[in-house]
Structure 1
């Protein structure tokens, strides 16, 4: 796709007007961070304050894909790309690295992790074998970083369910795993029973701990069933939103709102929305 036409607001900024593509975006970010002439908000930011926006933008990309909102996807991907540029600009100002180092790093990694494309290995292997080879390469990379523990290198900033699955996958590689889903289901029943039975006698911190144990085992069940728990919960959230909006619409047709109804009526409307979806 050709570069977009120059934005009118940049017409009187020659250093930006001469750039296109990625160089243009880098120049814009540098201008925003300029200590003398930049944006006060952008200047005040640091890695820690920008990190939550990075996570948020990644989720918004996933949301656009889930909704198949292809017209929104270029903008969402642009927002995510800006996060990379923002971090790279701050790193360059601190003398740590620059955007070109980010690009070189991922380019080298992709070449190193695909020896069946860029090296001498045969491309004639199954997807499962390629995944196994990929994990072996990553294990060597972790060893080179002196990450010797099985669980070393699993990022703390991942969504909790995703991180749980990654931790469990690592442990499973060395044999620390339940044999199958039925064993996990039995553990879920055990954890749920303990949470319910001891609920009244637990303090909040203990309840939180027990609930976390239950969620962790639920993530393990998802792993055994080859289900992405984050995706499953996103779908459940979408279903809940869809059906509750049906309740609101049904009540609005009668000139009422949910607070003007009661649980029995709303539950019946929920069942009607569910039946309509299945039909």
Structure 2
């Protein structure tokens, strides 16, 4: 079967309609697309989201554009599948998000006044509670990675006024948690430690550091990922230099490896 592909459009509405037409064609005629379910697409959507994240961190605008298209396809795909059982369709999805945005921005679409971004966040959380949320933290997905989840928990708590007054207080908490962790896990002390308590204190320390990062406008997920990438780049430099010198890392001393590691650090400055 050969269908005539819909032509490109110069308008957002036309381009979106073109995507819907293609999705319908594929769902009816393509063996792979016909087979997909909400569940089978789920892991692919997660993968696409991480690919978008990589593109954003890499600052590659063309790659970001491409990955946004991939995600847009998934959103349309889910809606098409749901429409086949009369659960919902793309029109309902779009009107639903529009209605939510209007309702949660009364400072734009009603007579509520706000002074700053914090007022907007506070109103948002209060409106969600009125809509039926049993807890301010109820909207934080249980499956979020722990680092991201900690950030979201803290942001949402701040939205209803549960927060420190200033970053000095937060840093004092970091130092307090660091000391408590050291008390449980002192590497200079040869005595056995309570592993469960040490883990708990380490978690508290991480949580307080993430909190401090929020106060100085650092996204901890982005910061850690950039450090991960930096480490990978330097370690791969170390591997390549060792290979050039006919050596295996496992046969080198730490002092020998440090020479190449420092070269990598200086090269990236």
Query: Which of residues 164, 182, 206 is equivalent to 2:172?
Result: 182
Q: Determine which of 26, 30, 46 is the counterpart of 2:24.
A: 30
Deviation at 1:244, TM superposition (A): 1.2
User: Take 1:144 and 1:241, find their aligned partners in 2: how far apart are those partners?
Assistant: 47
Which of 54, 59, 63 in structure 2 is aligned with 1:63? 54
Deviation at 1:207, TM superposition (A): 6.5
Mapping for residues 70-109 of structure 1, pairs under 5 Å:
70-109=61-100
Q: CA separation in 1, counterparts of 2:98 and 2:119?
A: 18
DSSP 3-state at the match of 1:95: coil
Q: Which residue of 2 aligns with 1:167?
A: 153
**Highest relative contact order (Cα 8 Å, sep 6+), 1 or 2?**
2
Whether 2:156 is the aligned partner of 1:131: answer: no
Equivalent pairs, count:
258
RMSD value, Cα: 3.3
Return the offset for 1:53. 2.9
CA contact (8 A) 2:184 2:194 kept: no
1:51 paired with 2:37, answer no
Partner of 2:134: 148
Q: Displacement, 1:99?
A: 1.3
Tell whether the 8 Å contact from 1:199 to 1:207 is kept in structure 2 after alignment.
Answer: no
CA distance in 2, matches of 1:196, 1:30: 62
- Compute the displacement of 1:160 (Å): 1.9
Q: Matched residue of 1:97: which SS?
A: coil
Name stretches of at least 5 consecutive residues in structure 2 with no aligned partner.
10-14
State the match for 1:4 in structure 2: none
2:262 aligns with: 271
Partner Cα distance (2:122, 2:201) in 1: 35
Q: CA deviation at 1:101?
A: 1.8
TM-score (norm 1): 0.75
How far apart, in 1, do the equivalents of 2:246 and 2:164 lie? 55
Q: Say if 1:60 and 1:76, in contact at 8 Å, map to a contact too.
A: yes
Instruction: Find the residue that maps to 2:87 and give its secondary structure.
Output: coil
Maintained 8 Å contact 1:32/1:43: no
2: CA distance between counterparts of 1:223 and 1:84?
Answer: 31
Counterpart pick for 2:230 among 231, 235, 239: 239
For residue 110 of structure 1, report the CA deviation from its aligned partner. Answer: 3.4
